């Protein structure tokens, strides 16, 4: 189990959300409440959009709560769109290239979950990645393979469609290998303009995922948000405080699209390739 966060809104310093809330993602790296593992100390990563064409990324294998560089960067980097992830490894090594988010061009991707029986079907999944994309896979996680499969299946032109085709393909390969429920995921994907957040699992029992109800709700995290009016949305693996009225759970089999802080909910349906 991992924990992740995505922010879209008026520019703010990353530490306002990553460190300062009472149940921040840093706190969740030590004591997550909604999942099978309470500790997510197998690395972390942040990705943010600024004035450059491609996003910045900082990842390390240290526990997030123990990295002074992360705090220093988060206090200085100001962005209108950023992601953060703390990792609990599920079989793949603890190494920098296995930390999220993963980047390709303007795109960032992060994931909580797993492909069941991944070691047994990895070769077949790898062979389905487009040859021009395969050299960009640096680590050994199922998450990075999922991202590059989605890119192969048209993510850049059709983000949700690419994710749906990826999940459909993984399920088909898994079922052919005798794996009953091949995939479990909440996933976040962005190009710095729109955020796509998905909650789906083959067994219909996904990890939790929430989004903030309004910028006013975020004022319970930090009075800083009072000046943002409606210009802020946060998507989180679990709420950043104990105020349930501030958060709306994203349903099973659902995709959320955040565009200019407007939230659209759509059904997420895997597309099985013919």
Beta carbons within 8 Å of 100's beta carbon, 6+ residues apart: 2, 4, 45, 59, 85, 87, 109, 110, 111, 143
- Confidence band for 92, pLDDT divided at 50, 70 and 90: confident
Edge-to-edge strand list for the sheet holding 254-259:
102-104, 107-115, 183-190, 194-201, 254-259, 262-267
Helical H runs in the chain? 15-18, 25-31, 68-76, 118-128, 142-152, 159-176, 215-218
Report the pLDDT value the prediction gives residue 260, as an integer from 0 to 100: 81
Residue 42 has pLDDT above 90, yes or no: no
Mean pLDDT across the chain: 91
Classified as helix, coil or strand, 38 is coil
Active-site choice (2, 99, 246, 261): 2
Residue 228 has pLDDT above 70, yes or no: no
Residue 261 catalytic?
Answer: no
The pTM score is 0.94
Report the pLDDT value the prediction gives residue 244, as an integer from 0 to 100: 83
Contact 66, 6 (CB under 8 A): no
């Amino acid at each position: 189990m991992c924990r992740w966060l995505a922010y879209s809104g008026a520019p703010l310093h990353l530490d306002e959300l990553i460190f300062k809330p009472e149940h921040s993602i840093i706190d969740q790296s030590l004591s997550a409440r909604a999942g099978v593992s309470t500790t997510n100390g197998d690395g972390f990563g942040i990705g943010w959009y600024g004035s450059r064409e491609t996003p910045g990324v900082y990842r390390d294998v240290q526990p997030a709560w123990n990295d002074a560089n992360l705090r220093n960067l988060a206090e200085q980097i100001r962005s209108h769109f950023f992601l953060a992830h703390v990792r609990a490894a599920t079989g793949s090594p603890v190494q920098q290239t296995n930390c999220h988010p993963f980047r390709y061009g303007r795109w960032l991707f992060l994931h909580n979950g797993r492909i069941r029986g991944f070691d047994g079907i990895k070769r077949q999944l790898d062979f389905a990645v487009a040859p021009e994309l395969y050299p960009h896979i640096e680590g050994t996680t199922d998450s990075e393979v999922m991202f590059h499969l989605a890119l192969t299946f048209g993510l850049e032109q059709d983000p949700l469609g690419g994710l749906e085709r990826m999940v459909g393909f993984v399920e088909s390969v898994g079922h052919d290998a005798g794996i009953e429920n091949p995939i479990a995921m909440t996933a976040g994907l962005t190009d710095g303009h729109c955020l796509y957040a998905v909650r789906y699992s083959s067994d219909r029992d996904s990890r939790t995922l929430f989004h903030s109800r309004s910028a006013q709700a975020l004022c319970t995290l930090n009075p800083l948000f009072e000046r943002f009016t409606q210009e802020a949305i946060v998507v989180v693996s679990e709420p950043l405080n104990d105020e349930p009225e501030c958060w709306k759970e994203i349903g099973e089999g659902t995709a959320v699209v955040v565009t200019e802080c407007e939230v659209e909910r759509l059904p997420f349906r895997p597309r099985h390739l013919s």
